[in-house]
A and B are shown apart, each in its own frame.
Chain A
Amino acid sequence: MPVRIDKNEKRMTAYIMGEIDHHSAKEIREEIDANIESLLPELLLLDFKDVTFMDSSGIGLVMGRYKLMRTIGGEVKVTNVSAHIKKVMRLAGLDKLAVIEK
């Protein structure tokens, strides 16, 4: 599984691992969404520490979770992004949508 979920109080952390592209995004997305729906967190933290590659599919992944979290009144934060991933996210203006830490 390319994602590990941790729940702490009202915060859910998704540790994403490996490469995020169109091929891998579906499984990651389904795993995160299933957990959001059962845990109903107030904050979703997407941890990119172990992500080795990301293309624009990663932008769709963050945007889609942002929308889902908004429907349950929660927010999304993105953390531990490498310079390359930050570059892809900035291109999409994701830094304005979700808080990117570090």
Chain B
Amino acid sequence: MKPVNEMKIQFVSRSANEGFARVAVAAFFAQLDPTVDEMADIKTAISEAVTNCIVHAYKNELGAVYLTAKIYEDRRVVVTVRDKGCGIEDIGKAMEPMYTTCDTGERAGLGFAVMESFMDKLKVRSKVGKGTTVTLTKYLSSREQDNG
């Protein structure tokens, strides 16, 4: 199925862009008039995915983060967040709640757990040394009943 609408952005892996990315995606999906809760869920999941690129994929360097957002006819929205960073050696382990490679003690290790629980589908593809693509899918509730 082809998307009804689509957008792409690319930005540098600076932490100031975490806010930019989630707000840009939220603004794009605003045309579907999602509920406040749905919008908060999506923004949180995007924030986690983009933070992973900045904190992990491009740990000691700056790199490009590629984000696409797509809208399908059945009110399904799909976001991909891609980097060309270090890649994930063991995706299963990385997705375990509370697992973190961050040694500062300030990261909870819950990024993937948040994405999984706040979205309807989460797919992670990664190749060490090549990069990672996270695909997030959410089915927005029908807004028809609000019109009647």
Contacts and interface: CB of A to CB of B under 8 A. Distances in A.
Interface of A: 19, 21-23, 25, 29, 53-57, 59-61, 63-64, 67, 83-84, 87-88, 91-92
B18 interface: yes
B68 interface: no
B19 A22 contact: no
B106 interface: yes
A61 B108 CA distance: 9
B117 A21 contact: no
A23 B37 contact: no
Contacts of A25: 106
Q: What's the dominant secondary structure at chain B's contact region?
A: helix
B140 interface: no
Contacts, number: 63
Interface of B: 15-16, 18-19, 22, 37, 40, 43-44, 47-48, 51, 54-55, 105-108, 110-111, 113-114, 117-118
B15 A23 contact: yes
Report which residue of A54, A67, A87 has the largest number of chain B beta carbons within 10 angstroms of its beta carbon: A87
A57 B118 CA distance: 15
Contacts of A54: 44
Contacts of A88: 44, 114
User: Which 9 residue pairs spanning A and B have beta carbons closest together?
Assistant: A23-B15, A55-B47, A59-B108, A56-B110, A84-B40, A60-B108, A22-B51, A60-B106, A21-B18
Contacts of B43: 53
A57 B37 contact: no
A57 B105 contact: no
A64 B107 CA distance: 9
